[in-house]
Amino acid sequence: MDAKKKGTKPRELGLFAPRPPLAERLRPRNFSEFVGQEHLLGPGKFLARVLKQKKLPSLILWGPPGCGKTTLARLLAQEVGARLVTLSAVDSGVKELRAVVEEARKAAAGTVLFIDEIHRFNRAQQDFLLPYVEDGTVTLIGATTENPSFSVIAPLLSRCKVLVLKPLSAGEIRRLLERALEDPERGYGRDKPEVEPEVLDLLAGTAEGDARVALNLLETLVESASAEADGRRRITRKELEDILTERVLRHDRAGEEHYNLLSAFHKSLRGSDPDAALYWLVRLLEAGEDPRVILRRIIAAASEDVGNADPMALLVAVAAKEAYEFLGLPEGELALAQAAVYVACAPKSNAVYKGLKAAREDVRRHGALPVPMHLRNPVTALMRALGYGRGYKYAHDYPGGFVKQDYLPEELKNRRYYHPTNHGFEKTIQQRLLKWWPKNRDIS
């Protein structure tokens, strides 16, 4: 049947725009509705002063997902009376940037160019922006979840003010959830679903600072709840547990959080805290980190931070790698945990690490010093005639397998790189060296 002939309205055929998600509907329309980032928007803070002056500088908004970066950009442009142009670095390039610049030159009002995920722009795309940001053709607001010092080129970064946005607190997210339930226009104020207070607390905690995650979960709860006899929808903890899948821990293998977690893990090993080491180990594993990356950190810590204070630490760490390769997951996780706890509990010494560093500095400072003649191997008659090996003392010909002689070039005579500590097995090493080199052995 022809809809036009019958006069059927498009809405009756389902030809209308779907209702936006709750998180989009509830996006703040002004700063009075904005929640969070008080360290930037509170009285006397940077953005509060900017809004008072009505003069917006170029900004880089760096913060985790769902903390309000996009909304903040929109409201800032709105407050200073600028036209806002939004691009995503995922699907935009120089062509789109050039079009924005041309429009900005013709526009009567100032142009704020908001680029979401600006860290995804390559160097050429960022270079293109430079002159137009510098001469004020556009005011740039870039949003990124990545450390801008790694992902934004230095010339562009120097022309922008970097603002660090914080994850929303559980209390702030709860306020947003309550607003969603009370707002009759954009939320569920007309339906008035009954939600147990405990559910809101759990939602706020589960979101881990991401307002979008919390609102999406609330929307799923409300929309999937069946109306009871009185027409009301009731949401209890059971409904939440039914839809709440295992939370995805924030972790980007190529981003800063990846290095933050690994850094916390390594520092816990170095700091002799097995409990913290296990916590960060589990955080990394649950976030999907490659166990081989974790093993590399354990092995590195065994050499760098334990060293000869407990030589077994390196053996245990390498054995954990072998065990993991043999067992795989999940059984191999226990080998990782065993090695992490062993390294964390081992006595610590970075004497080998410092010795290697000091020796490298001398090599770079003095260049290729010649090997002393008595240490050269006289493998030919000519070499023997030239004095190769002359005067060398074979240690095993002497009592205890030790004899004093110089093993360094003359320019570095008596230089000491390795200074063992009093920790663990290194105390035994220290006593041996004092016995062998009592006069010129500085162990301090």
DSSP for 222-279, please give it.
HHHPPB-TTS-BEE-HHHHHHH-PPP-----TTSHHHHHHHHHHHHHHHTT-HHHHHH
Q: Which residue has the higher pLDDT, 10 or 180?
A: 180
111 SS3 class: strand
Mean pLDDT computed over 392-405: 87
Q: What are phi and psi of 185, to 5 degrees?
A: -90, -50
User: What's the pLDDT at 336?
Assistant: 95
pLDDT, tens digit, for every residue of 116-136? Answer: 999 888 888 899 989 999 888
Classify domain 368-436 by CATH number: 1.10.3710.10
- List all residues 6 or more positions away from 271 whose beta carbon is below 8 Å from its beta carbon: 344
Which pLDDT does position 142 carry in this prediction? 93
Contact of 158 with 8, CB cutoff 8 Å: no
- What residues contact residue 395 under an 8 Å CB cut-off, 6+ apart? 401, 402, 403
Q: How far is CA 397 from the centre of its chain?
A: 57
Residue 206 reports pLDDT greater than 70 = yes
pLDDT score at 61: 94
pLDDT, averaged across the chain = 85
Q: What is the number of alpha carbons within 13 Å of residue 31 lying toward its C-beta? A: 18
DSSP β-bridge partners for residue 112:
84, 139
Looking at mean pLDDT, say which of 57-61, 92-96, 380-384 comes out highest: 57-61
Q: How does DSSP assign 66-85, residue by residue? A: TSSHHHHHHHHHHHTT-EEE
pLDDT at 312: 95
Beta-bridge mates of residue 114: 86, 141
Question: Can you give the pLDDT at residue 419?
Answer: 86
Instruction: Supply the pLDDT for residue 444.
Output: 44
Q: What is the pLDDT of residue 58?
A: 93
- Contact between residue 194 and residue 232 where contact means Cβ atoms under 8 Å apart: yes
Q: What is the DSSP string of 112-181?
A: EEEEETGGGS-HHHHHHHHHHHHTTSSEEEEEESS-HHHHS-HHHHHTSEEEEPPPPPHHHHHHHHHHHH
Domain 256-345 CATH class label: mainly alpha
- Structural fold of domain 36-164: Rossmann fold (3.40.50)
Residue 257 has what pLDDT? 67
Task: Using pLDDT thresholds of 50, 70 and 90, give the confidence band for residue 394.
Answer: confident
Closest C-alpha to 66, from 182, 199, 177, 222: 177
**pLDDT tens sequence across 324-364:** 888 887 888 999 999 999 999 999 999 999 999 999 998 88
Tell me how many degrees the CA angle 385-391-394 measures, rounded to the nearest 5.
120
pLDDT at site 443 = 46
Rg (CA), the chain: 33
Identify which of 198, 277, 284 has the alpha carbon closest to the alpha carbon of residue 244: 198
CATH number of 170-243: 1.10.8.60
Confidence band of 19 (pLDDT split at 50, 70, 90):
confident
| Residue-range domain boundaries for the chain | 36-164, 170-243, 256-345, 368-436
- Quick one: pLDDT band at residue 255, thresholds 50, 70, 90? low
Q: Is the pLDDT of residue 40 over 90?
A: yes
Of 337, 257, 263, nearest in space to 300 by CA: 263
Query: Does pLDDT of 6 surpass 50?
Result: no
| Phi and psi, residue 140, nearest 5° | -90, 135
Q: What is d(CA 131, CA 215) in angstroms, rounded to the nearest whole number?
A: 40
- Say whether 375 sits in a helix, a strand or coil: helix
Whole-Å CA distances, 315 to 302, 311, 322, 326: 9, 7, 11, 16
Q: What is the pLDDT of residues 263-309, one digit of tens each?
A: 899 999 999 999 999 999 998 888 778 888 899 999 999 999 999 99
